[in-house]
Chain A
Amino acid sequence: MSTLEDISALLQKGKANDVKANVEKAIAEGLSARTILEEGLMAGMNIIGGKFKRNEVYVPEVLIAARAMNAGLVPLKPLLVSSGVKATGIVVLGTVKGDLHDIGKNLVKMMMEGKGLEVHDIGVDATSDKFVAAAKEFNADVVACSALLTTTMNEMKSVVEALRNAGIRDKVTIMVGGAPVTDTFCKSIGADLYSPDAASAAEAAVAACQKSA
């Protein structure tokens, strides 16, 4: 197996230290930072994402894979910066006001990072103003809202309105998700994209960023 394949396989098993060592090895072998990222780390996360979508693996496996990916990114980050590798897109992600559930949102973040997106996590119980401020500050391509309660999902509508009032509604793609959220609900509040799970959310965000680029 090549070093890149090793990185992907070890990442899927969540072996953080081994992933890091193999990234260092790949750097020493002279592979480019972009190749290591895309064909090693992201390839591994992709496979985990697919398995998660099919329910073959669950939350813990994704978490440890993401931890391994972050370990691999430590030696890689400076090289990515110096070689000018840009993020696929910029996402502002948070759980809406009144809602403190964040396990699903954290998975969305990991999957998005696994797709090379730059994610700014504004945490839980985030007001619509906070979403707007972060979208402006980071010049976001995507604003992503998570809600787990039927009583807080209506807050997503407030986020759409706040973005409109701030005059940046058309500059961003608004994504929504979380257990009670549906595609119909997404359309009814004037948001752009609904995804049922974290892996689909990451794919949809990448597609949205590529379209707007």
Chain B
Amino acid sequence: MSEILTLVHEGTRTEIPAEAGTSLLDALIAAGENLVSATCAGKGRCGKCRLRASGALSEPSERERSLLSAAELAGGWRLACMTHIEGPARIDRPATTVATILAEGPAIDFTPDPPARWLRLRLSPPTLEEQVSDEERMVAALALLTPDASASPGSAARVSMAALAGLAGAARHDSVEALVRMIPGRGTEVLAVAAVSTADQASRRSLGIGVDIGTTTVVSYLIDLSNGAILGTKSGLNDQRVFGADVIARIQATIERETGLEEQRLRIVSQLTIMAHALLAEAQARSEELVSMAIAGNTTMLHLFAGVPPAAISTAPFPPVFTGLHVGLAPEFGLDLPETSSVFLLPGLSGYVGADIVSGIAALGMAEDPRCSLLLDIGTNGELALGDSGGILSCTTAAGPAFEGAGISMGMGGVVGAIDFVWIEGSRIACSTIGDAKAQGLCGSGVLDALACFIELGLIDGSGRILDAEEAAALGTELASLRQEGETEPRLLVCEGVWLSQGDVRQLQLATAAIGAGIEILIKRSGKSVGEVERVFLAGGFGSFMDVRSAVRVGLIPRGLEDRVVVAGNSSGAGAVAACLSRARLEACDQARARSSYIELSSSPEFNDLFVEHLFFPEQA
């Protein structure tokens, strides 16, 4: 019998017919929709085709129960390939909002209340009797509109020179449009004034851009500040990458090359400018509609953007020049954007726990939530934060690039031909590649899976040693055939031509131990136990793609937390978006910073012992 499957997306509904008994995946394929990607070709193995569905659907299968967490199932998440249509059903396509950048973050009140925006002000008419300047009439009108911002005495809005020039022409009408900036604790400023748009002109919108400058990737989100909708997204590799892959290399370039700082500043400034213009053009926006740009990123990235020498961050005791919130205008940063666009450099905590983490903490509401949560951003440097409304502890732990596929003999980035998932089928190893292409190497998630599978199969022992030929033979010929004698050391085959070597396992042990020990120190220092951690937010690319069960198997995430994992996506970018959108969220960044403290692991006496303990892989569950 034919049933109706409804796709709901940002208020629009699409109905597609589907036969009862078919899977959601097949129904979507038949309708030409590419909502999800089915990495394992719909075999219920990879868990990549997850989506949110409701209505008359089959009960979650055992496979789904093992691939989705209890929280996800409760939230209506299913695997498209394993879920069968039994009657009318619907699939909710997430709208692009702060919440989707955050993938699945908690509900936070994002009622738009932007710190910078265009406001229409009604001016009292000038009279002969009462001699009042245009400026005073405008400030009075503004005070009426924003009582909270100008409540305290002496806090009348400041009006910039540029705004006065604009006021001269505009004030002859009874209303003006004023670009107003209200930053908590910093008073109210009028940055520009323009005549009210004429009838045949669309009225002036207020748009903002939230930016996450990652060492590897840069992302910009264009936001309609009246309703929080994301109008567009641009992302690309950081143009500074020619100066090196990691933060230390970028800093070193500022030390060793006379123009190293300026060259890197120019690259990121022009990259952000180009992204902004592209976003504005696609949204058919007038440039003066762009009122703000909030920027999150690690401390070194913000120094490079601001042209402030980051040299000291690279050696102990790693003092950054600044970590506080900085508010300026586009030209001050060399951005080729409207002179009256505000720039918010979001606050960080230390040389290695930057605005990216702090804005993530703010976006996830960690410092306002009584539940204890753990934020993990695993990259070359692992940044970790743990806590609740009582306070947040954070640290950074150098993991090395192994989980980005670097420094691993067959490692590669997440491009076509990279093995992205590896799993066990019976006593065999199976894997999928990006683009279904012939396997050429392993990307981060594939490396992690491969390691977990080999440990699970017993080919790698708890100390990280690949079994010798004799020991492997005892596991049966099939498994033993995976072990090869490489040129200098043994290795384990993931598939024809792709392997993990003994040296690779050692690199992965270092990375896992650094993160594992960091997490344990945070939990111990905050006087908590693993069981008290109620949510684990995984931020960043690797965190979004890795298989949580593999992460637990190798000891990257403590056992017992697998069901509490929430993939948090780009929480840094979400924090930047939220800061453009809401004064309260911008303030939350400052509060998250004030409520967080930083633990320096290099001087933590317990680190080395814990690190060595975590070099061992955990025993079987």
B249 A55 Cβ-Cβ under 8 A: no
Residues of A contacting B502 in the complex (Cβ-Cβ under 8 angstroms): 55-56
Q: Give Cα A101–Cα B616 distance, bound, in whole angstroms.
A: 20
Interface check A85, CB cutoff 8 A: no
B252 and A151 contact, CB distance less than 8 A: yes
Chain A residue nearest to B313 (CB atoms) is A151
Complex: A103 Cα to B506 Cα, angstroms: 14
Residues of chain B with a CB closer than 8 A to A57's CB: 463, 465
B124 at the interface (CB under 8 A from A): no
Q: In the complex, are the beta carbons of B611 and A125 less than 8 A apart?
A: no
B600, closest chain A residue (CB): A100
Q: Is the CB of A150 within 8 A of B615?
A: no
Interface residue A211 (Cβ < 8 Å from any Cβ of B): no
The answer to whether A58 and B248 touch across the interface, beta carbons within 8 angstroms, is: no
Q: Contact between B612 and A150 (Cβ–Cβ < 8 Å)? A: no
Closest to A63 in B: B612
Chain A residues 65 to 115 lying within 8 A of chain B, measured CB to CB, are 97-103, 106
- B165 to A: closest C-beta gap in Å: 48
Q: For B602, list chain A residues within 8 Å (CB).
A: 100-101
**For residue B400, which residue of chain A has the nearest CB?**
A179
CA distance A58 to B489 in the complex (A): 14
Chain B contacts for A58, CB-based, 8 A: 463-465, 506, 509, 615
Q: Shortest beta-carbon distance, A133 to chain B, in Å?
A: 20
Q: Bound complex: CA of A191 vs CA of B238, how far in Å?
A: 37
B503 proximity list for chain A (CB < 8 A): 55
| Contact indicator A150/B463 (Cβ below 8 Å) | no
Give how many B residues have a beta carbon under 8 Å from the other chain's beta carbons: 24
Within B381-424, the residues touching A (CB, 8 Å) are none
Q: Please determine whether A60 and B616 come into contact, CB atoms closer than 8 angstroms.
A: yes
Identify B316's interface contact among A55, A100, A106, CB under 8 A: A100
A151 to B316, CA, bound (A): 11
**Known contacts A58-B509, A100-B603; A150 and B465 CB within 8 A of each other:** no
Taking the nearest CB of chain A, how far is it from the CB of B432, in angstroms? 29
Tell me the smallest distance from the CB of B309 to a CB of chain A, in Å. Answer: 13
CA A95 – CA B576 in complex, angstroms?
39
A60 and B463: CB pair below 8 A? yes
B314 within 8 A of A: yes
Taking residues whose C-beta sits less than 8 angstroms from the other chain, chain A's interface range is: 20 to 34
The residue of chain B having its C-beta at the shortest distance from the C-beta of A51 within the complex is B465
Residue in B255, B316, B465, B611 whose CB lies within 8 Å of A56: B465
Q: Is the CB of B249 within 8 A of A59?
A: no
Nearest CB of A to B520, in Å: 16
Knowing A57-B465, A60-B463, the reply to whether A151 touches B255 (Cβ < 8 A) is yes
Are B608 and A98 interface neighbours, CB within 8 A? no
CB within 8 A of A99: which of B252, B315, B613? B315
* A149 close to B465 (CB less than 8 A): no
Contact B249–A150 (Cβ < 8 Å) = yes
Residue in B315, B603, B608 whose CB lies within 8 Å of A103? B608
Among A58, A101, A152, max chain B CB count under 10 A is at A58
Q: Are A98 and B615 in contact (CB under 8 A)?
A: no
Closest to A151 in B: B314
**A151 and B506: CB pair below 8 A?**
no
Interface bits B454-492 vs A (CB < 8 Å: 1, else 0): 000000000111000000000000000000000001000
Given contacts A55-B506, A57-B465, A58-B615, contact A151 B608 (CB under 8 A): no
- B251, CB-defined interface residue at 8 Å: yes
CB contacts (< 8 Å) of B509 on chain A: these are 58
Select from chain B the residue with minimum beta-carbon distance to A179: B400
Cα-based distance from A98 to B248 in the complex (angstroms): 13
- The residues of B that contact A56 with a CB separation of less than 8 Å are 465, 502
Q: Is B489 a contact of A150 with CB atoms below 8 Å?
A: no
User: Could you tell me if B463 and A98 are in contact, using CB atoms closer than 8 angstroms?
Assistant: no
Establish whether residues B612 and A59, one from each chain, have CB atoms under 8 Å apart when the complex forms. Answer: yes
B306 to chain A: closest CB distance in Å? Answer: 21
Q: Mark B348-365, 1 if CB is under 8 A from A, else 0.
A: 000000000000000000
- Inside 8 A of B249's CB, which chain A residues have their CB? 150
The 8 A CB mask of A136-158 against B (1 = contact, 0 = none) is 00000000000001111000000
- State A102–B465 Cα separation when bound (angstroms): 23
Least Cβ distance of B454 to chain A in Å?
A: 15
Chain A 110-143 interface 0/1 with B at a Cβ cutoff of 8 Å (1 = within): 0000000000000001000000000000000000
Least Cβ–Cβ distance between A121 and chain B, in angstroms: 14
The answer to whether B612 touches A60, judged by C-beta atoms less than 8 angstroms apart, is: yes
Q: With A and B bound together, what is the CA distance between A99 and B502 in angstroms?
A: 28
Decide yes or no: A151 and B615 within 8 Å by CB, A56-B465, A60-B463 being known contacts: no
Q: Which residues of A contact B251 (CB under 8 A)?
A: 151
Q: Contacts A55-B502, A58-B615, A100-B602 known; A151 to B248 CB distance under 8 Å?
A: yes
CB < 8 Å: which of B248, B463, B616 contacts A149?
B248
- B451 to nearest A CB, angstroms? 14
Q: Do B252 and A98 touch (CB < 8 A)?
A: no
Q: Please provide the chain B residues from 437 to 466 with a CB less than 8 Å away from any CB of chain A in the complex.
A: 463-465
Nearest chain A CB to B555 CB, angstrom units: 13
Closest partner residue, chain B, to A155 (CB atom): B315
CA distance A137 to B252 in the complex (A): 35
What are the residues of chain A within 8 A of B506 when measuring CB–CB? 55, 58
- Provide the residues of chain B in CB contact with A149, threshold 8 Å: 248, 314-315
Q: Does A5 contact B (CB under 8 A)?
A: no
**A127–B615 CA distance with the chains assembled, in angstroms:** 30
List 19 A-B residue pairs with CB atoms under 8 Å apart, sorted by A's residue number.
A54-B489, A55-B502, A58-B465, A58-B615, A59-B612, A60-B612, A61-B463, A98-B315, A99-B316, A100-B602, A100-B603, A101-B602, A103-B611, A103-B612, A106-B608, A149-B248, A149-B315, A150-B252, A151-B255
Beyond A55-B489, A103-B608, A151-B252, 12 additional contacts (C-beta under 8 Å) are A54-B489, A55-B502, A59-B612, A97-B315, A98-B316, A99-B316, A101-B602, A103-B612, A106-B608, A125-B316, A149-B248, A152-B315
Using a CB–CB cutoff of 8 Å, the interface residues on chain B facing chain A are: 248-249, 251-252, 255, 314-316, 463-465, 489, 502-503, 506, 509, 602-603, 608, 611-613, 615-616
Per CB-CB distance, the 7 closest pairs between chain A and chain B, nearest first, are A98-B315, A100-B602, A151-B314, A55-B502, A60-B612, A100-B316, A98-B316
